[in-house]
């Protein structure tokens, strides 16, 4: 099921006539404890004593020089300067639409794949679409939903893996996005399949990688030549599906086995990208940077966690939290900063964000029964009860309240949460998993 929230009248019950659940009692999901940073405004209540409203105002834009067209202009293919500030007490979500077309266990994506205004092309004036992978581990299908209404635009005819998150980007330079996904059975070998925006198969790679369950694909320009590559686990493909690089597999997988989400990042400031597996990292030509088999494989994230000029690699693996310097030097290894979270509970992706506005990144992560925001020194800022013993869910963050402090969003097995900057639930929405 996919749910999209818009503006509404209740921060505790976005579903008309439905119950969003209580704020929790002792030991129930939504309870908080271990608050290490209690400064600032939590946004837990407003002046009227009611729940906060969570939404953002339309920012002030200079309309004296409007965009000349609906097409992407030079310089728009990267992050630009953009700042939007929410007015106080403005977060007030309600369901804009929902879709019940099938089971979805990977992250939905957003891109323009359809010509909504019948202009003859797909451009910035069309409504963004929501792309989901619906089905099960054996066979799933890519479904394109209208971002404004949730109506189904189209379903790709070729089945894909239901456990691997696709990636979307213009890989052939035609100005239109392509979708790359994984094909193959669970507990087997997967290949990459590329689709045109209309679902037509573009190519399928001959190269395969072993995968037990889970994972994600990525698109990045590793060699900085202007043409993107596609990467999955330990291999890099060119835009036509040909193998560019294959690096050795990580060793020491535990629990449910390989669930690889590798990362492209510039670790050495040489203006091209490296392939970061977590246990190891390689230049895009396959040259090894480091390979430390004492580090358990897991979910790597790239962040500057100590304020120096170089990034660190955060790895969430079955042993706990490991942080490496950019050259692979171990800074922390298999740490478990939240009490009661044993081995295996940390094997899930983290969300890297500056949650407290101090210009240094923190990260939010679940440890099965707790969801926590943790500082660069591995001291928890706060920790809240959740229920996610079976999942490998990640989260996200946004400053909904406009106070310079980010709210964490996380969905466990039974609830969707929005947490304040001190871990108080601002929103709880029932869900199934």
Residue 33: inside a domain, yes or no?
yes
Q: Tell which residue, 179, 377, 384, 214, has the closest CA to residue 299.
A: 214
- Can you state the percent helix, strand and coil of the chain, rounding each to 5? 0, 35, 65
Q: What is the pLDDT of residue 20?
A: 35
- SS3 letters for 391-412? CCCCEEEECCCCCCCCEEEEEC
Kindly state the average pLDDT of the residues 11-32.
43
Instruction: Look at residue 425 and tell me whether its pLDDT is greater than 90.
Output: yes
Q: What is the pLDDT of residue 94?
A: 84
Say if strands 152-155 and 415-419 run parallel, antiparallel, or are unpaired.
Answer: unpaired
Whether the pTM exceeds 0.85: the reply is no
Q: What is the pLDDT of residue 345?
A: 87
In terms of Cβ atoms closer than 10 Å to its own Cβ (0-12, 13-18, 19+), residue 115 is middle
Q: What is the span of the domain harbouring residue 400?
A: 1-57+87-106+352-433
Residue 97: inside a domain, yes or no?
yes
Q: Tell which residue, 204, 202, 167, 201, has the closest CA to residue 189.
A: 204
Please name the residue that has the structure tokens 């054996």: 138
Alpha-carbon distances, residue 409 vs 301, 365, 371, 390, 421 (angstroms)? 18, 11, 10, 18, 11
Confidence of residue 264 (pLDDT cuts 50, 70, 90): very high
Instruction: Look at residue 18 and tell me whether its pLDDT is greater than 60.
Output: no
Residue 171: inside a domain, yes or no?
no
Residue 9: inside a domain, yes or no?
yes
Residue 429: inside a domain, yes or no?
yes
Residue 277: inside a domain, yes or no?
no
Using CA atoms, how far apart are residues 343 and 390, in angstroms rounded to an integer?
14
316 Cβ neighbours under 8 A, 6+ residues apart: 298, 299, 301, 346, 347, 348, 349, 350, 365
Instruction: Look at residue 134 and tell me whether its pLDDT is greater than 90.
Output: yes
Q: What is the pLDDT of residue 383?
A: 96
CA 121, 125, 126 angle in degrees (round to 5)? 65
219 Cβ neighbours under 8 A, 6+ residues apart: 167, 168, 169, 171, 180, 228, 229, 230, 231
Instruction: Look at residue 265 and tell me whether its pLDDT is greater than 70.
Output: yes
In terms of Cβ atoms closer than 10 Å to its own Cβ (0-12, 13-18, 19+), residue 58 is exposed
**HSE-up (13 A, CA, CB side) for residue 311:** 18
Residue 189: inside a domain, yes or no?
no
Average pLDDT, the chain: 83
Count of domains for the chain: 1
Please name the residue that has the structure tokens 């994984």: 182
Q: What is the pLDDT of residue 90?
A: 72
pLDDT tens per residue across span 291-319: 999 999 889 999 999 878 899 999 998 88
Instruction: Look at residue 119 and tell me whether its pLDDT is greater than 80.
Output: yes
Residue 382: inside a domain, yes or no?
yes
CA 423, 429, 431 angle in degrees (round to 5)? 115
Instruction: Look at residue 343 and tell me whether its pLDDT is greater than 80.
Output: no
Tell me which of 91 and 66 has the higher pLDDT: 91
Using CA atoms, how far apart are residues 63 and 167, in angstroms rounded to an integer?
33
How many of the other CB atoms lie within 10 Å of CB of 68?
7
Kindly state the average pLDDT of the residues 101-129.
93
């Amino acid at each position: 099921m996919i749910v999209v929230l818009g503006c509404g009248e209740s921060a505790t019950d976005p579903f008309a006539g439905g119950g969003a659940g209580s704020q929790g009692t002792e030991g129930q999901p939504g309870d908080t404890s271990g608050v290490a940073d209690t400064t600032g405004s939590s946004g837990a209540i407003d002046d009227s004593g009611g729940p906060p409203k969570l939404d953002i105002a339309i920012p002030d834009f200079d309309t004296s020089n409007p965009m000349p067209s609906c097409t992407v202009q030079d310089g728009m293919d990267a992050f630009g300067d953009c700042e939007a500030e929410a007015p106080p007490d403005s977060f007030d979500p309600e369901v804009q639409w929902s879709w019940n077309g099938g089971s979805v266990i990977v992250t939905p994506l957003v891109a323009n794949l359809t010509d909504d205004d019948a202009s003859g092309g797909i451009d910035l004036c069309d409504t963004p679409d929501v792309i989901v992978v619906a089905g099960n581990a054996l066979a799933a299908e890519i479904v394109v939903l209208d971002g404004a209404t949730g109506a189904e635009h189209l379903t790709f005819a070729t089945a894909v893996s239901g456990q691997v998150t696709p990636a979307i980007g213009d890989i052939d330079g035609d100005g239109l996005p392509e979708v790359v996904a994984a094909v193959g059975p669970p507990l087997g070998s997967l290949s990459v399949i590329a689709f045109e925006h209309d679902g037509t198969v573009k190519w399928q790679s001959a190269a395969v990688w072993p995968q037990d369950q889970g994972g994600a694909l990525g698109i990045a320009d590793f060699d900085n030549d202007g043409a993107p590559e596609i990467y999955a686990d330990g291999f890099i493909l060119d835009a036509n599906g040909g193998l560019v690089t294959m690096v050795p597999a990580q060793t020491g997988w535990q629990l449910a086995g390989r669930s690889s989400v590798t990362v492209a990042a510039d670790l050495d400031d040489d203006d091209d990208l490296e392939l970061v597996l977590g246990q190891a990292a390689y230049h895009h030509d396959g040259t090894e940077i480091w390979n430390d088999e004492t580090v358990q494989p897991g979910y790597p994230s790239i962040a500057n966690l100590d304020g120096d000029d170089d990034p660190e690699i955060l790895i969430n693996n079955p042993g706990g939290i490991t942080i490496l310097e950019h050259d692979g030097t171990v800074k922390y290894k298999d740490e478990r900063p939240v009490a009661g979270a044993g081995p295996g509970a940390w094997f899930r992706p983290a969300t890297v964000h500056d949650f407290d506005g101090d210009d240094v990144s923190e990260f939010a992560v679940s440890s099965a029964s707790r969801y926590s925001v943790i500082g660069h020194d591995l001291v928890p800022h706060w920790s809240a009860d959740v229920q996610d013993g079976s999942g490998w869910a990640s989260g996200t963050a946004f400053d909904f309240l406009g106070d310079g402090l980010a709210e964490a969003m996380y969905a466990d097995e039974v609830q969707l949460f929005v947490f304040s900057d001190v871990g108080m639930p601002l929103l709880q929405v029932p869900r199934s998993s």
